[in-house]
Amino acid sequence: MRREHLLATTPNPAFKRRGTVITTQPVSGVEAPPQQHSPFKIHTRLLMIEKFLDYLKYNRNYSDETIRSYALDLRQFSDFLGKAEKEEKEKLLLTATQLTLRAFVTSLFKQNYGKSTIRRKISTLKSFYKYLVRNSYIDDNPADILIVPKKEKKLPKVLTVDGMFRLLDSVEEEEPKGKFHLAMLELMYSCGLRVSEVRSANIHELDSKKGFIRITGKGNKERMIPVGKKAIKAVQAYLQTEEFAQARSKSDEKPLPLFINAKGKRVSVKYIHSLVKKQSMLSANGTEFSPHSIRHSFATHLLNGGADLRSIQEMLGHSSLSTTQQYTHLNVGKLMEVYDNNHPFNKKKK
């Protein structure tokens, strides 16, 4: 479906209902501005979902990666409803019952999805149907009855400092893409970046001279993060390679991404996951780590080195300190040492 003027036109009467009365008037103050278009590449081809994604982008200011997750979740749910023509599928979305949504969630458990993934998908459905109710497309939110699984309390999987160094050293710089791979891994560890932030980083946001990079994280919130000399050196080496020059000449991306593939496109999240998995398997005797393990390791190593939680919170881009505090239980011994050495009641008398 072409998206031009999607939000400027009145909705199809078959899609919008207020009680038993059909109406074509949009609800003011809720729809996204008509002059802007969605940048997402996950095309659901369904009007209600596309409008909801635009709302998240332009009214809620959600990041592209977050909206991509919403799009994938809703596309999966629409596929669950069965094969049908577009207009019929729209009606299935609008008339989905509590039993339908429960059946969908049950199917996720049967497919062995993790609790955190199921939590996200339920949250997506709740937000989507809440949006439909607020805009009077439906009267009641069928997702209200869904129970969100309790959040799993798992210890973050982290590498030791030596383990992290071994992972970085496992990259052969002189191999094809070696400098490209090392630059990504060094920057991830130096700055504690999310995998989505590595993908979305742009060249102009890195200030090599001052040793800082500007990162746009969740909720499109920007933060400045220090970059270590080792990471800067690795990134500069990558930017001077012939493979980067060739990829850059093919790129039509604006702004120019920091990490691009041979076709000149942004490196994918899947590619970054595969890289970390491959190098961790090579360097850790078959133990598999993820990009988030590197982020956890970054924070844990800083905490062990004496950094305060507030500083770590700023660098990680956490909106709440309670999110950052998940790292403290890994380092109780270190925290007790800091407490004993610095609390006035515990300092040894000279």
**Span 255-280, mean pLDDT?**
93
Query: What residue ranges define each of the domains in the chain, with the CATH number in brackets?
Result: 17-145 (1.10.150.130), 161-341 (1.10.443.10)
pLDDT at 342: 62
- Which has the higher per-residue pLDDT, 187 or 38? 187
Our separate counts of H helices and E strands in the chain read 15, 5
Angle at which helices 161-169 and 178-191 cross, to 10°: 160
Question: Considering 57, 199, 295, 296, which one is annotated as catalytic?
Answer: 295
Q: Which residues pair with 213 in a beta bridge?
A: 206, 225
pLDDT tens-digit series, residues 37-83: 444 444 456 888 999 999 999 999 888 888 999 999 999 999 999 88
Can you give the length of the chain in residues? Answer: 350
- Whether the upstream peptide bond of residue 255 has omega within 30° of 0, thus cis, is yes
**Mean pLDDT of all residues in 307-317:** 88
| Residue 292 annotated among the catalytic residues of the structure | yes
What's the CA gap between 198 and 195, in Å, rounded? 5
pLDDT recorded at residue 158? 86
The average pLDDT across 296-320 equals: 88
Catalytic pick among 177, 218, 248, 277: 218
Q: How far apart are CA 14 and CA 6, in angstroms?
A: 16
Query: What's the confidence (pLDDT) of residue 303?
Result: 86
Distance CA 217, CA 196 (A): 8
The answer to whether 318 is a known catalytic residue is: yes
Please compute the mean of the pLDDT values over residues 84-112 and round it to a whole number: 91
Percent of the chain with pLDDT over 90: 55
224 sits in which H/E element: strand 222-226
Q: Is 181 marked active-site?
A: no
Concerning whether 218 is annotated as a catalytic residue, the answer is yes
Is the confidence at residue 175, as pLDDT, over 70?
yes
Active site residue: 194, 266, 296, 301, which one? 194
Q: Which two tokens stand for residue 66?
A: 């977050």
- Active-site residue, 2 included: no
- Mean pLDDT lowest among 23-32, 204-213, 298-307: 23-32
Looking at every residue in the chain, the average pLDDT score rounds to 82
The pLDDT, as a whole number, for residue 331 is: 62
Neighbours of 319 (CB within 10 A): 12
Residue 120 CA to residue 117 CA, distance in Å, equals: 5
Distance of CA 72 to the CA centre of its chain: 13
Of 61, 178, 89, 75, nearest in space to 124 by CA: 75
Q: What is the pLDDT of residues 146-168, one digit of tens each?
A: 988 877 666 667 898 999 999 99
Q: DSSP letters of 55-95?
A: HHHHTS---HHHHHHHHHHHHHHHHHT-S--HHHHHHHHHT
86-90, 202-206, 224-228, 343-347: least confident range = 343-347
pLDDT the model gives residue 27: 41
Q: Is 194 a known active-site residue? A: yes
- Do 299 and 293 form a contact (C-beta atoms < 8 A)? no
